[in-house]
């Protein structure tokens, strides 16, 4: 059941960015407990000011714009990674307390904590009679 709580949205998004940058899906770790969902996303080169997070109709979208690497005066002689925007969307299939979502960036890793609304347990007293 818990595996269904987070479903990934199709990348064929109708919304298109104005900037003509390549878009990459950041690698993520997602953990969940009874009380919260924690998403950690690799966004190397991204500082706090480059992060954009939105949650709309249960779709969580994370976006990160990395700082450009300063290479003026150098020629590129070997290349394994490319520059681009990080973006990925998830469908959150749990009731989340929207007002208490927290996010932080450290060493190029974005961490989002989504507290779940846990229904209060009501004790129903059955009286005889």
Partner 1 sequence: MWNRVTSELLRDMGRIQQEVNRTLRDQSYDGEFPPVNVYANSDRAVLVSEVPGMEPASLDVTVSGETITIAGVVSALQAAEGENIHRAERFAGKYSRTIRLPYPVNPEQVVAMLKNGVLRIELPRVEHDKPRKIEIKSA
Q: Is 57 in the site for partner 1 (CB under 8 A)?
A: no
**Angle at CA of residue 89, ends 88 and 94, nearest 5°:** 140
Site stretch for partner 1 (CB under 8 A), options 55-63, 79-87, 94-102, 114-122:
79-87
Find the farthest-apart pair of alpha carbons in the chain and give their distance in angstroms, rounded. Answer: 89
Give the nearest distance from C-beta 62 to partner 1 in angstroms: 13
SS3 114: strand
Q: Which of 19, 57, 76, 121 binds partner 1 (CB under 8 A)?
A: 76
Site stretch for partner 1 (CB under 8 A), options 18-26, 52-60, 93-101, 118-126:
18-26
Report yes or no: 91 and 102 within 8 Å, Cβ to Cβ: no
Read off φ and ψ for residue 7, nearest 5 degrees: -120, 140
Residue 62: beta bridge partners? 53, 88
Q: Is 79 in the site for partner 1 (CB under 8 A)?
A: yes
Residue ranges binding partner 1 (CB under 8 A): 2-3, 5-6, 11, 23-25, 27-34, 40, 42-47, 66-67, 69, 71, 73-84, 86, 105-109
């Amino acid at each position: 059941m818990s595996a269904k709580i987070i479903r990934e949205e199709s990348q064929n998004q109708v919304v298109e960015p104005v900037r003509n940058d390549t878009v990459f899906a950041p690698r993520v770790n997602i953990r969940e407990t009874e009380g919260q969902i924690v998403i950690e996303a690799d966004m190397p080169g991204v500082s706090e000011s480059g992060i954009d997070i939105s949650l709309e109709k249960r779709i969580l979208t994370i976006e990160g714009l990395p700082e450009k690497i300063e290479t003026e005066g150098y020629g590129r002689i070997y290349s394994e990674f490319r520059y681009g925007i990080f973006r990925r969307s998830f469908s959150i299939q749990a009731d989340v307390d929207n007002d208490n979502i927290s996010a932080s960036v450290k060493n190029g890793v974005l961490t989002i904590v989504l507290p779940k609304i846990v229904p209060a347990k009501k004790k129903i007293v059955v009286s005889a009679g």
